[in-house]
Amino acid sequence: MPEETIKKSMDDLLALSGEGLKRKLPGALIQIREYGIGNLLREYPDFLAKLLAALRKADPAGLFNQLPGAADQLMDLLWAGVSFRAEQVKEMKALLERAERPMHINIESSDSPFRGHFIVKEGKMNGRSGLLHFKDEDFRFMGPTEVLMDLLTGDLPMGFSNLRLQTAGHSGWVSRIAPVVREIVKLLKGTQEPAGKIGSGI
């Protein structure tokens, strides 16, 4: 698909709300997967942040509960995109290479199938839909779908201290995870500008 066509198609998707977004999202996720999330992000670096923001305004829990498989498809694209950009951005690469030990982080919505995980290991980051077994996780973020989306886009007031965001895991992990989450926000936004509110409550 030509670059101009995919960009217009995604712009049209982001302009939708409510029922329109619900109707178009499944096809759009397939289109993105076929085109390649890396190819899309080269042309549209902040697409994933904009998509999460659009979904955030459209009752994301209700949408995912009505669209079987959509939450998993989005999670897979989200982490594929983050992993792709993490390889390109020197600040993120340096942060991952400095990690003292591997990290296994779960993200679990309390009101929809929006669940996934990411792993930092040997200077790399990868993630996907589904949860790691609780015996394998180091830390877990839990909360309503909209709160988890706000966490990933840097729009969660008070950062990790927000009372709607629940966590499980030793408190010592917070200081290791917070810088990684800040960089994830930057990667999703396609910018290396300060990520703003994430972790401000730490």
The CA angle 115-112-157, to the nearest 5 degrees, is 75
pLDDT of residue 61: 97
CA pseudo-torsion sign 155, 161, 164, 169: positive
> Which domain range does residue 63 map to?
1-202
Distance of CA 69 to the CA centre of its chain: 16
**Distance between terminal CA atoms of the chain?**
44
pLDDT of residue 68: 94
Query: What is the C-alpha separation between 19 and 133, in angstroms, rounded?
Result: 35
Considering only CA atoms, which of 84, 79, 87, 131 is closest in space to residue 110?
131
pLDDT of residue 4: 72
pLDDT of residue 159: 86
Count of other CB atoms within 10 angstroms of residue 11: 12
CATH code of 64's domain: 3.30.1050.10
Q: What is the number of domains present in the chain? A: 1
Query: pTM for the whole thing?
Result: 0.90
pLDDT of residue 83: 95
Instruction: Spell out the per-residue pLDDT of the chain, length 202, in tens.
Output: 566 789 999 999 999 988 999 999 999 999 999 999 999 999 999 999 999 999 999 999 999 999 999 999 999 999 999 999 999 899 999 999 999 999 999 999 999 999 999 999 999 999 999 999 999 999 999 999 999 999 999 999 888 899 999 999 999 999 999 999 999 999 999 975 434 444 444 4
- Residue-wise DSSP of 120-161: EETTEEEEEESPPPTTT-SEEEEE-HHHHHHHHHT--TTGGG
